[in-house]
Structure formats: C-alpha cells, structure tokens
Structure 1
Amino acid sequence: MIRQTDIHTRSAHTTYTQDSTTPIHPTSPGLPAPLMLLFAVACGLSVANIYYIHPMLNIIAADLHMDAALSGSIITVTQLCYALGLLLLVPLGDMLPRRLLITGQMLLSVICLLCTAMASGTLTFWIGIGMIGGLAVVAQTIVTAAASLSSPAQRGRTVGVVTSGIVIGILLARVIAGLLTDWSGWRSVYVCSAILLLVVAILIYYYFPVKERSVSASSAQLSYGKLVLSTLQLFRDLPILRNRAVLAMLIFAAFSTLWTTLVFPLSAAPFIWSHSEIGMLGIAGLAGALAASRAGRWADRGWMHRTSGIALALLVLSWLFMWQLYDHVWWLIAGIVILDLAVQAVHVTSQSMILAARPEAGSRLTGGYMIFYSIGSATGALTSTWVYAAYGWNGVCWLGFGYSLAALLYWGWTRIYSGTV
C-alpha cells in the first residue's frame, strides 16, 4: 500500500537546480517502489485504450459496415491522433504541474471512452477513438515525471519499470478485449476501461508528490507556442534524438504490422480462433515487459549500443519464425516473443538515452520521439491491411521483415558514420 508519509518524506529530501527539472537526490535511492508501480499501472491502462481494438478489428469493421481492406484505417486514425497529442499535449509537462496535467487528461479519457462505447455510427466511433488516441499520450507524461523524480543513477531502471507497465498494458489489452468481446460485446471493453482509469486517476491525484519539481526557468519563460516549437528545435540540436526517432518509427511499423493483421489469418480457416483465443496471444509477448526492465538497467551500465544492435538483429529474426505460421502455430508464438522482446529493448534504451541528453526538456524530448513511434504504428497498420488483402500472410511477413531489416541497417549506418545510435 502506498503511504502518503513515504512520498512526503521523499519529496522533502529532494532538491532541484534552478534551471533543471532533474532532481538532485543526495540520499534518496530513487522513486518509491509503490509509486513506481502506480505509475506503471497508470501507463498500462492509458496506452491499452488504443490497443483494445486489435483483436476486435474484424467484428467492429463488420458492425460499422467497413471494408476489411480499409479496417486498418481505424488504427491509423488512432495513431495519428496520438501523434498530434504528442506534439500538442506532452510538451505541457515542461510548463505545467504534472500532477494536474496527468489526472486531467485521464479524466477526459474516461469521458471519451464512454462516448466511444455508445457510438452509433462510423463517424462518431472515429471521433471517439481519435480522442482516446490523442489523450493516451498521458502515459508519456507519466514516464517523464517518473524519470525526473528518480536519481540520475537509476533513471534507466525507473524508465524500464514504468515502461514495463506500458508493455504489459499493450499486450494484456488484446487478452482482455478478446475475452470481453466474446462475453459481452466490444462496447463493454471501453466501459470497463473507463471505470478502471477513473479509479487510477483518483489514486494518482492523491499520491503524486505535491512538491514534484520546480519548472525549469527556461521553460517557464516560454509561451505555449514557443514551447511546442522548441520540440522541433531539439531535433535540430540533438543527433541522438533524430536517430532514435527514426529507429522508433521503423521498429513500431514492424510491431504494428504484426498485431494489426494477426486477427485475420487466425480467425479464418484452418484456425478459426475466437477473439478470446486471439487475444490470449498477447500473453506470449509479455517477455517484452521483462526486456523493458532489463534494458533500462543495461542503459544505466552504459551498454546502450550493444543492447540496440542485438535487439534489432532479433527483430529481423522474429519474422523468419512467424513466416511458418501455417506449419505450426508454435512458430508464431516464438516469433511474437522475440519480436516483443526486441522492440521493447530498443524502445527503453532509446528513451533512457534521450532523457539523459536534456533532462530539463524531458517532456518535449519524449513527445518528439514518440511522434515517430506513432507515425510508424500508423504506417504499419495501414500498409499491413492493404498487403494482407492483396498477398495474404506471406506478404505481411515480407513487409514486417522489410521494416525490421531497414531498422537494423539504419542503426549500423549511423553507428559507423556518426557514432550516436
């Protein structure tokens, strides 16, 4: 149980420099474990909202009378709105108290979830799901807040643990959505999510450290427009941000390619799986959560480049396993485990590296980086449904393999010529 006195005690022993949002912890071992766990749960629930749809994609498309080849556009709309939220909402974390910003966005998400559950047509559903996507960026504000509340020596571990919540939320979203869809319909998924998110928002508001950190002097002097513009300037100034953002775009295009189309072959002959069974495959990807936590520790030890190279090679390898789906489903499961482990290892390593580059601009760094994550996810969703409609599962595997190989080659090229990735 989280004790208010623990958090207040920790806040009292935390000091800040005038121009930095990064706390200096002379004695504190880092963010209290109960609060770190609460942050991880909040991240998982927030991000899950944009992934519930994956095992339900075919039934929602049928309910909304949408062509299967265009069903990926639902996910694309969600991810594009997510990218818009990263650009317009996440930078506010460097300007406003994160406690109010986080709880406010979570409460708005609750309203949007309930509206989506009551949607009666395609347009209203797209508006609702788009708003959910835009507000799900609160998870990135939480990650940045957790990093700023941690000691510099344990920032990577903290980012890894909190990001594990995101990974678990992404994967269990498919399990929960599949089970609830078979039990009581797809609308019940969004109602249950709204209830859980409301409870967590109340807990976040109550237990978030009151003295979270002082707003940096440089951020306080910026207007909102200049704050958003400064995100673009960070791309100009930091090669590590540019390179890691491109990697995020490629690896999450591969990630989305798999999870967007998986429902189609598994719900058809010879498998004819239920939505519950398809959703249960999310459990196979929980190895990614373990990789997220471990990768953070490796980043703290300075093994970022080694971790990235190995993980990207595994990402390419994963598609060779999943190519054998029609030989045996265990090949698919092995490929899912490897793919999720690889993607999350690169993702956590990237976040640890960019947050260390400019701690005082943590929210803007995270927002800018995650815009490319969202672009990659949207691209993977849209292209994979087109490719599946035309070329089937083999075409999807070629597409995912291509995205993964491009990421590995890009990492190798930047290591040779710039040494920054």
Structure 2
Amino acid sequence: MTNQPLSPARPAPDTSPPPASGRPRRSLLTLMAVATGLSVSGNYFAQPLLELVSRDLGIGTGLAALVVTAGQAGYALGLILLVPLGDVVDRRRLTVGLFTATALFLAVTAAAPTGPVLLAGTVLTALASTGAQVVVPLAASLASPAERARTVGFVMSGILLGGLLARTVSGGLASAADWRTVYWTGSVLMAVMAVLLHRFLPRLRTATAGLRYPALLASTVRLLGQERVLRRRSLLAALTFSSYSVQLTSLTFLLARPPYGWSEAAIGLFGLVGVVGVATTPLVARLGDRGRARAVTGAGTALMAAGWLLLLPAGSSLVWLVVGVVAMNAALQSVLNSSQTVVYALRPEARNRVNSAFMTCYFIGGATGSALASAVWAYGSWPMVCALGAGLAVVSFLLWARETADGASGTGGREYAEAVGRAAPSRLG
C-alpha cells in the first residue's frame, strides 16, 4: 500500500459493539489495569537495587546506573516502534505477545551473569513493556464516548500505581531475598497476565490492515502534522510532565540532605504519597466524560504551578512537602486524563498511532525535566529547582490559555470543539 495520508473522514469500524452500559465489565477493566501496572513496574525495579546489583555482578556503579537509562531508552523505542502495530494487527494477539516477551526478558535479566547481559535484558524488557500502551487504546475502543475518560482513567491508574509501587516492592523483596528474586517474581506474574489476557481480552477488528510497517511508522509522524489538537495536547502534556519530573528527580536530592537526611528506603516509601494524587483520577475522568476536558486541563496546569509555590518552603517543612507533592500528582492526572480523552477521539481508526505520538512526546517531556532538574540542582539547589518547575508549569498554563482563546475567537475553535464533541457528545464544555 502506498504511503498516503490518513483521511479524517474515514469511518472507524475498529471496535466491537460496546456493552449495553457503554463501559467494559469491571472485572475486565480491573484485569487490564493490573496487567498494565505489572507491565511497566519492571522498568522501575532497578532504581533501589543498583548498589546490590553492582556488588553481585562485580561491576562499577556507573555501569549499574546505566540500567535506569537503558530502561528509559527501551521504553521510548517501544512507544515508537511497537505501539503503532495495534492499528494493523489483532490487538489481543499483539498484547499477549508483548506480555509474554516481557516475562521472558525479565527472566533473562534475573539470570544475567554479567553487566552487559543485564543491560540487554533491561532494554528488551522495557521495549516489550509498552504492551501496556497497547492495552490503553484498546480500553478506549471498548467504551462508548460517554464513558471513555473513566475507562481510560481506570486503566491508566494501573500504570501510574505500578510505577509508584514498584520501587517500594522491589526494595522489600530484595531485602527479604536478593535482587534476582525481584525479577523472577516479575517474570512469573507477567506470564500469568499473558495467559489471563489471552483468555479474557476481546478481539477487535482493525481498520487499516494491510498498511506496511514503514508506512505505518511514517503515518504516526504525519499525524502530528495533520492534527493540530494532537500537537497542542502532546506539547501541553509534555510540558506538564516535564514540570512534574523536575519535582520527582530533585525530591531524592532534597530528602537525602539536611534537615531531612532520610535513608534510601525512607525516600522510596515517601513516593507512596503520590498515591493520594492518583486517587483523584475518577473525579477527573467523570468531568472529562461530561465534556469538561478543557476546564479540567486548565485546572490541572494551574494546580501544577500552584504546587510549586507550596513546595517552595518544603526545603525545611515536611507538611508543605506532602501537600505540594499530592497537589502535583493530582495536577498531572488531570492534564493527562483530559488530554487523552480529547486525542483518543481524533482518529478512532488510528488510535494506537495517536497514542504512540502522544505518549512519545509525553515521555520526552519527562526525560527533559529530569535532565534539567539534575543540572539546576547543582547550581541553585531547591529554590532554583522550584523556579524551573514553576516556569514549565506556567508555560503549559499559557498554552492552555491560548487554546481557550482560540476557541473563543473561532481560531481553531471548531476543530477543538469537534474533538471534545467526539470524546463526550452528550455535553460540550
């Protein structure tokens, strides 16, 4: 097939009829959420284990630290190279295949005799773990438009909790046994998930079967050029995640130094505070289903900026630190879920490619924020980190304000309104 642009008017016969309630069964959604959480958790196992890995394999701390970078690189490659395949092959088969591969590569990592084998296993595990990002648009396709935000939010909460809990669980298992036990356990759980998903995931027809792989990847890039809403939402979400990642990275530096002086285990446990922010997802998703996606995004970007004001005195106050971290997690979920609600409605027949483009931009934003935080901390410590994070949040708020102004003036407003209308046709907000 030739490399032709996607037609906005193309019908979207890519889903089986949704259930009568307009939402997949709760048991199926729970399975999908747990599966996605376990899938991504393997990318975070190594963070509290680097010292143990370094001693056991007899490698330098520098090489051990590359494990984290290798995981990030592998996940980015998977988003670009594997997630778009969900638009041209049976999504259930693709999901089960990627989950099975993740189980296999976790086993390779667990049995790694040397540092290079460990790095290879980490990259391949992260690459295959993007099966979680195939499940999310599949969940969106199973839900009616009026239930889509809540459905996506529920499954995405699994991914977010998987990332938050993985570090704590990893450290606990390693303390009780060793670092290899962590990866063996993850491998077995992923194999179980692959069997369950094969048994219970429905089959969905693809709308673009026959598109060759190079053309498939090219069309993913073209989507960013063709869809103004996708470009704006990808940039807005990337800026918000960048601001959030500044906090996430610099928090370790802050808590390790006086007046806190916490141990690595205590710092890992503090990450569980973010679970409170994730708990706001149902409310955010409900508002998105009622057509309030634009308002939710604006509130989220404003809350992210306000969160940095709350964190400014956190250099010496645990109370302000907790309040600020909770606010920023709630802000991140607001922007992410509302943006997904909008972009998933753009091209139903290309939902996996839309997700690939959106999430790739999103994680590039996060990686950029982490890199900037490390550099800024070296020069200005906590106050300058807060200034950096707040600046990124303000830029995302201004981008949202520009989007809103365009809607009010009619410049690009119809395009946005149609996207939100497809996301929640019962009420535009």
The one-character-per-residue Cα deviations of 1:231-282 (angstroms, maximum 9, x if unpaired) are: 1121122111111111121122222222233333323444332333222223
Q: Corresponding residue for 1:263? A: 252
User: Are 1:155 and 2:144 an aligned pair?
Assistant: no
Which of 136, 140, 159 is the aligned partner of 2:129?
A: 136
- SS of structure 2 residue aligned to 1:141: helix
* Aligned residue identity for 1:114: A
Query: Which amino acid counterpart does residue 323 of structure 2 have in structure 1?
Result: A
1:182–1:336 CA distance, 2 compared to 1 (3 A): farther
> 1:358 and 1:79 mapped to 2: Cα distance?
28
Name the counterpart of 1:250: 239
- Give the aligned residue type for 2:308: W
Aligned residue for 1:272, secondary structure, equals coil
Cα separation, partners in 2 of 1:117 and 1:248, compared to 1, 3 Å: farther
SS in 2 for 1:402: helix
Distance 1:399 1:187, change over 3 A: farther
Distance 1:256 1:376 in 2: 8
Do structure 1's residue 109 and structure 2's residue 80 form an aligned pair? no
Aligned positions of 1:221-240 closer than 5 A: 221-240=210-229
Q: CA, structure 1 residues 278+55, in 2 after alignment: closer, same or farther (shift >3 Å)?
A: farther
d(CA) in 2 for partners of 1:181 and 1:248?
Answer: 35
Equivalent-residue separation in structure 1 for 2:13 and 2:33 (angstroms): 24
Larger mean CA deviation between 257-266 and 198-207 belongs to: 257-266
Task: Provide the residue aligned with 1:12 in structure 2.
Answer: none
Offset from partner CA, 1:185-231 (integer Å, 9 cap, x none): 5443333222222222211111112xx22221xx1131111111111
Using structure 2 for the length normalisation, give the TM-score: 0.85
Say whether the 8 Å CA contact 2:50–2:61 is kept in structure 1: no
CA distance in 1: counterparts of 2:357 and 2:82, whole angstroms: 11
| Range that drifts further, 98-107 or 265-274 | 265-274
- Check whether the contact 2:136–2:152 (CA below 8 A) recurs between aligned residues: yes
Check whether the contact 1:176–1:279 (CA below 8 A) recurs between aligned residues.
Answer: no
Residue 46 of structure 1 and its aligned partner are, at CA, apart by 1.3
Corresponding residue SS for 1:324: helix
CA contact (8 A) 1:161 1:292 kept: yes
Identify the residue that residue 145 of structure 1 maps to in structure 2.
138
> Is it true that 1:275 corresponds to 2:264 in the alignment?
yes
Counterpart contact for 2:14–2:141, Cα < 8 Å: yes
Matched, 1:303 2:296: no
| Alignment correspondent of 1:94 | 87
Query: Is the Cα–Cα contact under 8 Å of residues 102 and 129 in structure 2 kept in the other structure?
Result: yes
Structure 1 segment 13-412 matched on structure 2, within 5 A: 19-25=12-18, 27-56=20-49, 64-66=59-61, 71=65, 74-119=67-112, 122-209=115-202, 212-216=203-207, 219-412=208-401
Query: 1 CA distance for matches of 2:350 and 2:124?
Result: 26
Cα distance change of structure 1 residues 381 and 188 upon mapping to structure 2, 3 Å threshold: farther
What TM-score comes out, normalization by structure 1 length?
0.86
C-alpha separation in 1, matches of 2:54 and 2:319: 28
Q: Is the 8 A contact 1:54 1:259 kept in 2?
A: no
Alignment check: 8 A CA contact 2:259 2:316 kept: no
- Tell me by how many angstroms 1:120 deviates: 5.2
- Give the whole-Å Cα distance in 2 for the aligned partners of 1:349 and 1:58: 39
- Cα displacement (A) at 1:119: 4.0
Whole-angstrom CA distance in 2 between matches of 1:338 and 1:64: 40
More deviation in 226-235 or 365-374? 226-235
Summarize the Cα distance change of 1:121–1:261 in structure 2 as closer, same or farther, 3 Å threshold.
farther
Farther off after superposition, 139-148 or 380-389: 380-389
Structure 1: stretches of 5+ with no match in the other structure = 1-16
Given that 1:181 and 1:275 are in contact with CA atoms closer than 8 Å, whether structure 2 keeps it comes out as no
| Corresponding position of 1:8 | none
Which region of structure 1 is more displaced relative to structure 2, 53-62 or 303-312?
A: 53-62
- Comparing both chains, which one has the higher relative contact order based on Cα–Cα distances under 8 Å and sequence gaps of 6 or more? 1
1: CA distance, partners of 2:381 / 2:114: 29
Residue identity matched to 1:143: V
- 1:57 and 1:388 map into 2 onto residues whose CA distance is 22
Distance 1:384 1:123, change over 3 A: farther
1:7-63 deviation line (CA, Å, top 9, x unaligned)? xxxxxxxxxx98521344483542011001000001111122223344456776898
Following the alignment from structure 1 to structure 2, what is the Cα–Cα distance between the partners of residues 184 and 330? 34
Q: How far apart are the structure 2 equivalents of 1:58 and 1:324? A: 32
Question: Once superposed, what is the RMSD of the aligned Cα atoms?
Answer: 2.7
Query: Cα offset for 1:110?
Result: 1.6
CA contact (8 A) 2:146 2:290 kept: no
Give distance in 1, aligned partners of 2:213 and 2:67: 30
DSSP-derived class of the 1:369 partner: helix
Which stretch shifts more, 383-392 or 331-340? 383-392
- 1:136 aligned counterpart, secondary structure: helix
